[in-house]
Structure 1
């Protein structure tokens, strides 16, 4: 094992990060810092090459294949963002997260090297994943509540319209003024609710992309579980199916789930009481396909060509009078394109609508 130059030895040996140099040519570790033995209790620096197969077995099978693929790319000179790996030596031990940074280098003698660091980031990852989970739950709950709260206001507005018609014969300005206040209050309340939810979506869309490796099957299952618990509030039924129990894809989790939430919100708007809304997930060799389908009123054919346009002319109120800004579908399209994906739909009036989202499993594998 090589010894670092004197000026760097104290820095490398005193760091909590594990520094390493691996020879791709010789298939052995040339250097690993002292933190290696704290990162993997029971491991010894002088036996690191013998430890490697055991350490790899600590990774879940999905992560083993992912790690091999990423290190093969690095060895070939392809750049990667930080590599996040789950580590679970035994089922009775808590899962840990490791962040690996590595770069290809060429030694003076011509050896191809991988140099980098390994760090335990379990605390940070658990925090971020909990934040993502509750952010998705918050956005989903807002969508459900916005439709639930808008319903009574729209009903009251319809009653006010009926009263206006029936009381016109009275020619009483005070009565007409009271009815007008009722109408305006109901309309403004519905608009306020939708403006708040739409503002959350637009704020999320304007944040820089941060792609990480996500189990999309689990993420979508959690979102749909919240919708299923709120079925009685929106008088619709929700279902979810996935081709595999775990489907890994590199996405910005918050932005992608906002896309799904907004498609579900539109499905709720244009699906009558007792309607069905279904989300599907299929894993393919180099991409995933997400579908959001409803059996609602469908999209008129004249609106198909302009649906994703900015400030599209395809704007129309929902079945309960919900307003639309016209920006929603444009932002959905933009966010899907930022993931190097494509979105399209199939729809016919009174026969429902299905949206399809195709996204590569990793950046650079564009559809």
Structure 2
């Protein structure tokens, strides 16, 4: 038995015929060692014995024997059994070969996947950087063209106002595309940051309808809103939900014929708030619906006035809604309009906790006195102009030291604080203001302005004493929603 085992290790045979009874090491022991060795276990083992005892065969089976032969051998039986075992071994060898080939392919595919993941990460990083760098100048073009259009109305002819309007619309179209690309890069990188706060969804809906009403009026489309819920508050990221609603409402307008109706409905079902946008448009072919919420997917239905779409909006909307713990879907039929619906969970305990800590503006009024601390002159001009057009009084400074001095000499209802400024940054300035408030007992709402929204940014700003934060470039809608959430006037959005 020992000699047989040594021979097998040095030169593995195609098949092993072992006598059960052998000196030093029995056939059963040799069989056991063969089957325990991963290099030899594929070898078929035949145990030969003159014993009739059942115990010997049971021991052989437990050791892994493939066949048994009783001595003396019948030659024909021996040949038949060996042929059968060798066919099995050939099949095993072929399977083993295929397995090794497939395993090699798997390793190559796995390596390619890792390379693709790395490239995808670099792509997302590039998209994010490019989108961020493009967004700032586009936002400047959009805002200043809007300012020009407003200031020059009645002073220049309609043709030149049309030129300005075309600049504004083109820059807004590019800005929307850039924002979509930035959102996609963050989503694919797993960095969809939600800044949750207690929000009245009814305000978000009405505000969004106000923004889209001009486009609807141009097509003589009626926009209506029905609130069928006793509860309209939820803990959400208001700008993100505003983004979802804007996508659904603007899409409904794009794909609706003139003189039709779009209805927005808010209802409560169990522990969910359900928002739906129903249009009387062209509908969506049934076979296109399953892919509708994937990236770069567009319906074959054409917009009624030639409006363009990136094919990213619904995918972004799905990710935002799912990030809130909700669901989004569409019910549609060609020629019979569409109803897009999404749900948001009602988190009563979160709402109650938010109520306990929600900062309050000193006095609710139509006009607020706002301190804008921003070192970038263009950003400072834009934020100042947005606030002044909404009827607010603005004091603008360019660094943290000036901001601290201003809050010492004047009373403000709100501070918009750039996080990075010369002389004194926004975080240090905020800490100084909060230390001073320990003596005065008066809380001054402070909102951070930051160029980047990374993981933990909100928690960081809140931990140093800020009440909320906005990403730059500042959008009027997001700014007014933050003011509302901080207890400011509910009518400020009307001035946007």
Q: TM-score, normalised by structure 1?
A: 0.44
Bigger helix fraction: 2
Q: TM-score, normalised by structure 2?
A: 0.33
Bigger strand fraction: 1
